[in-house]
Structure formats: C-alpha cells, structure tokens
Structure 1
Amino acid sequence: MTSGTGATIKVEEISPVKKKISFEIPWEEVKRELDTAYRTVGKKARVKGFRPGKTPRRILETYFKEDAEGEAIQNLVNRSFEEAMQANSLVPVARPEIEQGGILSERNFTYSATVEVEPVVEPRGYIGLELKREDTAVTEGDLEARLEELRNMYSSLQDVEGDRAVRAGDFLVIDFQGKLGGVERQELTEAGFRIEVGSGRLVPGFEEALTGLKKGESKEFTVRFPDDYHVKDFAAQDVTFHVTVRDVKIKVLPALDDQFVKNFERYESLEALKADLRKSLEEEKAAGAKAALRKAINDRLLELNPFEVPEAYVERQIFSMMIEYQRRMVVSGMDPDNAAKLAADLHDSFRGEATRLVRAGILLQKIAEKESITVDDAEIDGRIREMAARYGRDFESMKASYEKDNLTDRLRDQLLEEKTLDFIESRAHIE
C-alpha cells in the first residue's frame, strides 16, 4: 500500500500483537522534508560571517548536516508511521523499534518499525455461563475458629519453665548465619530473628531442625532450598546454617469467658460477642463467594477466548505488582532496599498472574464496548462518596485527591469492570 507521504508500506505479522512494518519513501518527498529541515536549521544557526537565516545551504550542510537530516528523518517517520497505523487499523501500545540507515542523496529513504499493537478480540461465550456459587452458611466450626483467632490476638508470651527443649508452637529469638558453598551470605544472616516453630515461614527443614534445642544452645545443619525459591541464587541449593537460640517462650491463651469479653467495650456478654462475630462472618463469606464467582467468570471467559497480549502490557502489570509487593514489605517492617531487591527477584514469578490480569482486563473492556456498558461521572462521584464516608473524610477533599493524583480514570476502569462482571453474572446460569 502507499501512504499520504508517498511511502510504500509493507506489514509483516510477527505475531497477532506484534508487527514489523517496512517503509520506502520516494526521494522527492525526502528532498522536500530535507529542504524544510535546512530552512528551520538555517533560521537558528549562528555561523560567523553570516546573518541568521542567510547562511548558504552548502555551509549548513557542512556544519549542521546531522541536525537537519535527524529532523527530516524524525518528521518522515512520525508522519508515515501514523498513516500506516490508521490505514491498517492498528493501535500501538508502546514506542516502535525503528531501524533505518539514514538519508542517502537521490535515494529513496527506507526504514522499518517493529511495534506491539492492541489485540483484535471479538468476545464470545459470555452469555449463559454455567457457574456455581459457594455456600455462604456460617457453621459452628467457623465461629469457633474466629473465637480462637481472637484468643490468639489477646494471648501473651511467657518464658518456658526450666530448661525445656524447643518444640513446635514455641516462639524463639534466634541468630543465624547461612553459607552457600562455604561462603557466608549476607542475605542469609540475621540477628534477633523472631520465629514461631512450625509456622512454615522459613524454608522446609529449618524450623524442624530447631526442635530439641534449649535456650543458649547452638546447632549447625544443612537444608535444601526449594527448586522454585524466589531468589534464583539459592533455588535448589544446599545451604548450611549456624543457629543460636537466644530466647524461648510459649503462647498462653486467655480463657473464653465473661472476663475475656471485657476486652471489648461494646459487648456485655460472650453471647453478644458471638452474635456479632457470626454477622461479620456472614458478610465475609458473602464477599468471598462473590469474589470466587467473579474469578470463576474470568477463568471461564479466558478459557473461551484465547488470545495473545502485548509484552508491554504484561511488563507494566508486573511493574505495578512489584511496586505493591515492595510497599507491603516496607509496611511490614522490611528495609526498603531489601524490599526493592526482593520485589525485583520476584519479577518472573509475577508473569503468569500478570498475563492473566491483562487478558481479563482487555476481554472485559471489549465486552463492555460490545454491550455499550459505560460509567458516567455521577457513578464515579457516588463511589468516591462511599469511600469518603467509610474513611471519615468529606467528599470534596477526597474527590480533589483523586483528581490531583490522576486516579479518576483508574476508578472509572474499576467501575466499568465491576459493571461488566455484573452484566455477565446477571445473564449466567448459577447453581
């Protein structure tokens, strides 16, 4: 095909979401653009012996050839690339990779652009999905488990009696140094580390090796890190640890009686506490069932609509997940630099879920377009009012914060996704 710049354009499909586009622009068009570029450069050029705008072309070509040709190439590429995108109904999702050999006198200018584009998706199968809703009934077992959680929240730690050996369930303060291949590694060394034996926080075999030790004792042992461990240097490796137990404590739970209820000012009896817990459990189960149903919808839609997504979209999603993971680690007390390194090490681990999220987002957007589902400003204001009431803020200040931080479009996308899922759910067959 030929563009408005006179360029001959050839589109090669590398994948459904990646194209290589070759351009050949006639010398006549190149010359016109080059003449324009030299006129622009000439107006700004400062050459001794010549007034601005009066420098001869041959002098400009001597001193400013690179500038003029660079500007001409940029203009030619920008115009012809945009024309090719429009003519072929392609939507680029990232900057193209340009390959070109420069301008040669009396020769057509050629270049290629490799670019990722939005996938073409025609959603299907979203009407009449067969789904199953989770049971939301609260059992006595659920209530007992929640009461046990409360008891743990109000528990206390006490020293073990005598010189009893460590066993599962004990809370320890330990120092440890880890060596890989006989070399001590800073990432595997910690002093004053707190751990509940049997919690599964550390690599398999580590916590088990602590049982039988007593306060003040040390032990050296070797554990093999999992094959899929998030730090690649340690994955599937044997690491030798030297551990010293500094302190041993046990957890003591309070009795579940009226005295325990006094920890909560709003309840007058244990039965009142149980009634409120049952209500909150019902709300949680309802929310959990809704989330599970939404996930089932997305999973089924992705199964029915296979398509590739641009790597640029996936990388943006991974970056967002890494930032969120780093933020949570810092909030939990981790050093910011260590949190950043840990988040970076998890880059590849995030890829599968990131790809799934990107595909689901695109698919729901296409369904919304097909079904004319939209979100208006009143709906956005309504959601902001809900959040303002929940967090004890006034509507105007929260809305101003959203606008200042450029979060309004993100909220609009979130609401559109929710409305689209509501639409699909309303037309599904749910047991």
Structure 2
Amino acid sequence: MEIVAKKVDNANAEVNAKIAKSDIESKTQKIAKELSKTLNLPGFRKGKVPIAIVKKRYGEKIEKDAEAEALQEVYAKALEELGLNKEDILGEPAVTKFDKKDEVIETEIKISFRPEIDLEGYEEAIPEFKEPEVSDEEVEKRLKELAEAMTPPKKLEEDRPLQEGDIAIIDFKGYVDDKEIEGGSAENFQLKIGSGQFIPGFEEQLVGMKAGESKTIEVTFPEDYHNKELAGKKAKFDVTLKEIQVKEEPKIDDELAKKMLPNEENPTVDLLKEKIKEQIKSEKLSKLYNEELKPKLIENLVEKFDFDLPENIVEQEIDIKLNEKLRGMSEDELKELRENPDKVKELRESLKDEAKKSVKATFIVDALAKKEGIKVDDQEVIQTIYYEAMQMGQNPQEVLEAYKKQGLLPAIKMAMIEDKLLTHLLNKKLEAK
C-alpha cells in the first residue's frame, strides 16, 4: 500500500494511495473466513460452510467490505502522516477517485480539518459606540404610562355621551348581506374610543351615544382585511352601549412605588424613577446592540482575520443557501434549472462568496467563544425553545421534537453562543470606558 498525504492549505488535505489487489484479496479471504463461522446455509453445519461457497454467494458484498476496510487503513495512515487527530476532522472524507486497475486500485481522498485561527488584536474589531442616554422627559413619560396601566377604569357617574378617550362597554352583532358574521358578535366588550382597535368608522359612530342606548352602524371592511371573504364588503352592526368607563388621572406617589417595587425594602417615587431609567437604558442598549453593533462586529471580524476554510464545510453552506434560493423560485425558474445543469453551477458560484463569509464567521465565533469562556449548555437551548414556543402559543415539547428531527439544535445552540459572545464583547468595551 503506497500513500502520499499532503496538506493543500491549513484546512484541507489530499491523499493519494495505491492499494495492491493482493491486499484486497487477503482482506476478502479474511472476511469470508469470519463469515463462514456464523453462516447458516442448508446442507452445511453452522460454522462449517466452505469459504469457496461463502465467496460464491456473497462475493460482491465481501469485496466491497474489503475495499472499505482498505480505505479505512489509508485514511488512518494518512491522518498519522498529516499529524491530525480524528477530532480535528470536519465532516466525512470525500473519496474523489477510486480507479480499479489490473494490479492496483488508485484512490484519492480529500480531507477537511479545523483551521487554526490567530485571534491577536480581535479587540480592534469591536466598534466604537456611546452609551445611550435617558432624558428626564423619557422617564416621566414611562412613569405616567405605567401609572395609567396600574389605574383601573371606573364607571362614569356623570350623565354625558360617549367621547374620545372613554372606554365603551358594548354588546354588538355584525351582518353582511343580512347574514350574521361568524365571530362578529360579542357581549360586554371593552373598547377604548380612539384606539383604532375596530375597522375604520366603527368607533367614530359610537361617539355621542349614551349608556343604555342602541344603534345600528354601517361600515365597510378594508380591501386588505385579513379575512378575504369580508374584505371590501359593507357591513351593519347592531350595537348597545351598556356602560361608559373613564380613567382617572393616575396618582404618582410612594403607594404606586410600593405596588411596582414589591421586593424593595423602602420603595419611593425617586427609586422607581431610577429603576425606570435603568430599564429604558437597557432597552436602548439592547436595540443598539442588536440592530447596529452586533452585525457591524461580525462584519469587522470577518474582514480582519484571514485563514483557509474547509472546502466541504463551504460546499455544505452553499447547499443550504442554494436550497433557500430554490424555495423562493417559481416553477418556471426551477424547470429551467432542471433542464440546464450549467445554470445550477452558475447559481452555486454566485453564492460562494456569501457562503465563505458565513463559514468564516462561524469559525471566528467558535474560536473567540472558547477564548472568552462563553458556553451554552443543552438545558439553556431547551429553555429558550420552550420560552419562544410558549410566547407564540405553541406546544413547547412538539416544537422541541420537530427541531430535533430536523437536526436544528446544533444551529440554534451556535446562534445562542454567537449572541452571548457578541453581547459579552460589547459589554467589555462599555465597561472599559
């Protein structure tokens, strides 16, 4: 067995080997002998089937097993020559040549491995930014909103008609073409006048009504209404105004602070304002991080560091991006691609640069996370999936199982590590100021 293994660059290697036919025959004999010990064939005692019979019946499979065993030996010796461990290898080795000749099998294997990345000076890639400021006006506005939310509405005792800003408690029933609208009725419905919660024209026609009064109002559903059967249709609603409620001017005092800061020993309005200021600052910082700084940081890191990329991982990323592209294509476009393989090659080539950037970013994030000690355990991933599923009203266990079946958990984990790392780096920059 002759083997020549060489590194093409710092992430890819090529192995050329010549496997003697005598090696294959020797392995074939050994496999057939082992198989004969366990075979049950009519006319022969178990373990006593002649090797010649075994080879005659299972010859093709035995030969393939022998060739596979020889390839494994080539692969193991190649790793030894290259000074690589199995843990360094990314994906499966690709057998790009397997040429059977009279005396030898000439084979070529391509191997991709994890590149080493010099991260020196990575701090320079973190963009400059200013910590967001929070004005007194913003704090007062948020405080008033919170106080209003904590102040329940009260029944209007004054004998006056419904007006903008009031809360109307109504019963209603809707009709289109004299047929009742499915889901278009309710009792004791709470509607704030001016909120725009109902279709245009509905709330405006309630203004001026008094408690106990009934009225039929006419409206037209918008052309872009989500229910296509109702879009653009004229409708009538029989409405009864049962009660008018109003919100009193909220009291902003230490009692409010006690309600909003139940875990504080001595809650005051001033302390509440401090907490609100911290909250608004945190919201602004999160928005700045997610919408501007994190994308910029990734872009800077990709531009700053240059290293060889594993070819098979780049090809996998091209496959992913190609599939995303195909899902958005029309049937005519897909037909053209099926009939013209060169078009597919062109499309793959057009996605190569984007795929390389994506793979590069993944390796940088992975290396930086190890350097900075950033980890995400499996339990964190499950908790995140559960939380997001519940937020969307989905069954968390079903969502988790679906992700498992689709093999998405590693990608979700990597995305969480990336987000955690970028937040960590930006926070370090902020603390250093």
The interval holding the TM-score normalised by the smaller chain is: 0.5 to 0.7
- Cα distance in 1, alignment partners of residues 109 and 322 from structure 2: 30
Q: In structure 2, what is the equivalent of residue 293 of structure 1?
A: 293
CA distance 1:23–1:348, change in 2 (3 Å): closer
TM norm structure 1: 0.52
Q: In structure 1, what is the equivalent of residue 12 of structure 2?
A: 18
Residues 276-298 of structure 1 show CA distances to partners (whole Å, capped at 9, x for unaligned) of: xxxxxx97996476333222212
Task: Quote the offset at 1:266 in angstroms.
Answer: 11
Residues 357-403 of structure 1 show CA distances to partners (whole Å, capped at 9, x for unaligned) of: 11101111121223332102332233224312431235444334433
Does the residue aligned with 1:97 lie in a helix, a strand or coil?
strand
Matched, 1:307 2:307: yes
- 1:393-412 alignment runs, 5 A limit: 393-412=394-413
Task: Quote the offset at 1:75 in angstroms.
Answer: 1.1
- Cα distance in 2, alignment partners of residues 411 and 296 from structure 1: 21
Q: In structure 1, what is the equivalent of residue 366 of structure 2?
A: 365
Does the residue aligned with 1:131 lie in a helix, a strand or coil?
coil
CA distance 1:109–1:348, change in 2 (3 Å): closer
**Aligned AA (2:123):** I
- Cα distance in 1, alignment partners of residues 336 and 310 from structure 2: 26
CA distance 1:408–1:64, change in 2 (3 Å): closer
Does the residue aligned with 1:347 lie in a helix, a strand or coil?
helix
Residues 140-186 of structure 1 show CA distances to partners (whole Å, capped at 9, x for unaligned) of: xxxxxxxxxxxxxxxxxxxxxxxxxxxxxxxxxxxxxxxxxxxxxxx
Q: In structure 1, what is the equivalent of residue 316 of structure 2?
A: 316
Task: Quote the offset at 1:74 in angstroms.
Answer: 1.0
Q: In structure 2, what is the equivalent of residue 131 of structure 1?
A: 127
CA distance 1:423–1:124, change in 2 (3 Å): farther
Q: In structure 2, what is the equivalent of residue 91 of structure 1?
A: 89
- 1:222-237 alignment runs, 5 A limit: none
**Aligned AA (2:363):** I
Percent of matched pairs sharing the same residue: 20
- Cα distance in 2, alignment partners of residues 394 and 68 from structure 1: 49
CA distance 1:30–1:397, change in 2 (3 Å): closer
**Aligned AA (2:65):** E
Task: Quote the offset at 1:126 in angstroms.
Answer: 2.0
Asked if the contact 1:124/1:304 (under 8 Å) is kept, the reply is no
Asked if the contact 1:125/1:301 (under 8 Å) is kept, the reply is no
- Cα distance in 1, alignment partners of residues 289 and 42 from structure 2: 78
Matched, 1:113 2:109: yes
Residues 16-38 of structure 1 show CA distances to partners (whole Å, capped at 9, x for unaligned) of: 33212244678997665232122
- Cα distance in 2, alignment partners of residues 372 and 127 from structure 1: 15
Asked if the contact 1:119/1:309 (under 8 Å) is kept, the reply is yes
Residues 41-81 of structure 1 show CA distances to partners (whole Å, capped at 9, x for unaligned) of: 65688999977865655666677655433321211212441
Residues 83-122 of structure 1 show CA distances to partners (whole Å, capped at 9, x for unaligned) of: 5336523414343225445597xx8876442333332323
- Cα distance in 2, alignment partners of residues 67 and 397 from structure 1: 41
Does the residue aligned with 2:122 lie in a helix, a strand or coil?
coil
Does the residue aligned with 1:120 lie in a helix, a strand or coil?
coil
- Cα distance in 1, alignment partners of residues 395 and 118 from structure 2: 42
- Cα distance in 1, alignment partners of residues 403 and 362 from structure 2: 22
Residues 256-287 of structure 1 show CA distances to partners (whole Å, capped at 9, x for unaligned) of: xxxxx674459999xxxxxxxxxxxx979964
Q: In structure 2, what is the equivalent of residue 37 of structure 1?
A: 31
- 1:48-59 alignment runs, 5 A limit: 56-57=50-51
- 1:123-162 alignment runs, 5 A limit: 123-133=119-129
- Cα distance in 1, alignment partners of residues 114 and 316 from structure 2: 14
- Cα distance in 2, alignment partners of residues 378 and 62 from structure 1: 54
- Cα distance in 1, alignment partners of residues 369 and 110 from structure 2: 30
Does the residue aligned with 1:11 lie in a helix, a strand or coil?
strand
Q: What is the aligned-residue RMSD (CA, Å)?
A: 4.7
- Cα distance in 2, alignment partners of residues 418 and 133 from structure 1: 18
Unaligned runs of 5+ in 2: 134-193, 205-281, 338-342
Q: In structure 1, what is the equivalent of residue 385 of structure 2?
A: 384
- Cα distance in 1, alignment partners of residues 101 and 298 from structure 2: 50
Number of positions where the alignment pairs a residue of Structure 1 with one of Structure 2: 286
Asked if the contact 2:12/2:311 (under 8 Å) is kept, the reply is no
**Aligned AA (1:354):** A
When structure 1 is superposed on structure 2, of 365-374 and 392-401 the one drifting more is: 392-401
CA distance 1:336–1:262, change in 2 (3 Å): farther
**Aligned AA (1:307):** F
Matched, 1:69 2:63: yes
- Cα distance in 2, alignment partners of residues 336 and 283 from structure 1: 44
CA distance 1:419–1:25, change in 2 (3 Å): same
Unaligned runs of 5+ in 1: 1-6, 138-260, 270-281
- Cα distance in 2, alignment partners of residues 336 and 374 from structure 1: 44
CA distance 1:43–1:358, change in 2 (3 Å): same
- Cα distance in 1, alignment partners of residues 398 and 107 from structure 2: 51
The structure having more radius of gyration, on CA atoms, is: 2
Asked if the contact 1:11/1:22 (under 8 Å) is kept, the reply is yes
Within the candidate set 54, 67, 78, 2:72 is matched to 78
